[in-house]
């Protein structure tokens, strides 16, 4: 196909035709077509390379060099052209997209504290104001601290299987059934110095009905020192209840029994629903039971590192769910654990 001196001229002609085609390719399909035509196995360049052997020996070297150089040049031009086409396509697409600056933003869903958290905060605040400091303990607790140190011996009904979650593979440990072991921890940390502490957290019992959940929350307060008496307990509880239920709250202490306090008292407040007249919720009594309390049992004081002959103290505990249910008029404790936004959005 290529003859004599014409061969180099034909290479030049081939080059200018190829360059024109590459420059004219407006999109990827056209460029791919040009690649097949000029660099393909049936294209003129390959044809010419094959024809080198037919050229006179004196011309072969220059001709080979020229054709190889041309092939390299075309390949790199096509790569460049490819990049230009891609970039142009990207800009074209971006120009085509419209952006409406007047569209309103998408509001982020705002979270809020859970009603139990609101109650916990209120309880803790009320006692902070009275000089109680916050203390914490683990939810997986030793039986020794959860029971024995709190004067609940092994034969006590509270330790039976139907009440307590035991920890498999870790004998001697339970999911704490109350926050009271934190009292022991706080006393052991501070004894023989006086202590005033408040704790709040999750506790676990094998209960599940309208007023009981296997996971629930307790808050409790403890004060130990010299000369602390029942009157301090009553004064503290009165201020505490005023902070939670309002200035006009009435409180009543009734004798009761707890293993870890002696004497012990249940604390009632005047019914918040009927104002003391008597209604279905207070069962006609005009009072609602809200917490348990008492003077710290000498056994517990000793376990905490205090000498009962020198130190006395009081303690009280309250169910956070119970306060939340009273405060917000919720009649099923399980609603507090179902994460239903229709309920939670109301607070």
| 9 or 283: CB nearest Zn ion | 283
Binding range to Zn ion, per CB under 5 A, among 120-128, 165-173, 231-239, 263-271: 263-271
In whole angstroms, the minimum distance from the beta carbon of 274 to Zn ion comes to: 3
In whole angstroms, the minimum distance from the beta carbon of 204 to Zn ion comes to: 31
| 8 or 274: CB nearest Zn ion | 274
**273 makes contact with Zn ion (CB under 5 A):** yes
Find the binding residues for Zn ion in span 37-76 (CB under 5 A).
none
Q: Which residues neighbour 340 within 8 Å (Cβ) at sequence distance 6 or greater?
A: none
Q: Which residues neighbour 127 within 8 Å (Cβ) at sequence distance 6 or greater?
A: 198, 221, 240
Inter-residue contact 261 to 295 (CB < 8 Å): yes
**249 makes contact with Zn ion (CB under 5 A):** no
Q: What's the start-to-end Cα distance of the chain, in Å?
A: 91
**274 makes contact with Zn ion (CB under 5 A):** yes
**CA R_g for the chain:** 43
Nearest to 142 by CA among 173, 120, 163: 173
Q: How far apart are CA 290 and CA 267, in angstroms?
A: 6
Number of residues this chain uses to bind Zn ion (CB under 5 A): 5
| 117 or 211: CB nearest Zn ion | 211
Q: Pairing mode, if any, of strands 133-134 and 195-204?
A: parallel
Q: How far apart are CA 210 and CA 168, in angstroms?
A: 28
Binding range to Zn ion, per CB under 5 A, among 13-21, 125-133, 264-272, 290-298: 264-272
Site string for Zn ion, 276-295 (x = CB under 5 A): ---x--x-------------
In whole angstroms, the minimum distance from the beta carbon of 198 to Zn ion comes to: 28
- List b or e across 150-179, with b for residues whose CB sees 16 or more CB atoms inside 10 angstroms: bbbeeeeeebeeeebbeeeeeeebbbbbbb
**257 makes contact with Zn ion (CB under 5 A):** no
Binding range to Zn ion, per CB under 5 A, among 104-112, 204-212, 260-268, 274-282: 274-282
**300 makes contact with Zn ion (CB under 5 A):** no
Chain residues binding Zn ion by CB under 5 A are 271, 273-274, 279, 282
């Amino acid at each position: 196909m290529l003859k004599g001196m014409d061969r180099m001229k034909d290479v030049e002609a081939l080059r200018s035709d190829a360059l024109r085609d590459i420059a004219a390719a407006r999109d990827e399909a056209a460029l791919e077509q040009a690649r097949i035509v000029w660099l393909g196995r049936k294209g003129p360049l390959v044809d010419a390379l094959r024809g080198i052997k037919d050229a006179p020996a004196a011309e072969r070297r220059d001709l080979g060099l020229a054709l190889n150089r041309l092939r390299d040049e075309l390949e790199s031009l096509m790569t460049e052209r490819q990049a230009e086409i891609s970039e142009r396509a990207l800009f074209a697409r971006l120009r085509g997209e419209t952006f409406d600056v007047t569209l309103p933003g998408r509001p982020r869903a705002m979270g809020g504290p859970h009603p139990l958290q609101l109650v916990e905060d209120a309880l803790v605040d009320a006692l902070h104001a009275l000089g109680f400091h916050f203390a914490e303990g683990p939810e997986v607790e030793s039986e020794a601290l959860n029971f024995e140190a709190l004067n609940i011996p092994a034969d006590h009904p509270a330790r039976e299987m139907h009440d307590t979650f035991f920890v498999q593979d870790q004998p001697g440990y339970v999911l704490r059934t109350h926050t009271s072991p934190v009292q022991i921890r706080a006393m052991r940390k501070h004894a023989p110095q006086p202590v005033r502490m408040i704790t709040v957290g999750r506790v676990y019992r094998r209960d599940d009905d309208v007023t009981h959940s296997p996971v629930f929350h307790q808050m409790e307060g403890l004060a130990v020192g010299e000369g602390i008496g029942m009157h301090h307990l009553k004064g503290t509880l009165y201020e505490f209840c005023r902070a939670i239920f309002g200035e006009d709250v009435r409180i009543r202490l009734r004798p009761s029994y707890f293993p870890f306090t002696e004497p012990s008292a249940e604390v009632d407040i005047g019914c918040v629903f009927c104002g003391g007249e008597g209604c279905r919720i207070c069962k006609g009594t005009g009072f609602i039971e809200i917490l348990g309390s008492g003077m710290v049992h000498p056994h517990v004081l000793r376990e905490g590192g205090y000498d009962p002959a020198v130190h006395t103290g009081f303690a009280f505990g309250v169910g956070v769910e119970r306060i939340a249910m009273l405060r917000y008029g919720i009649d099923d404790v399980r609603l507090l654990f179902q994460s239903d936004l229709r309920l939670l959005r109301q607070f």
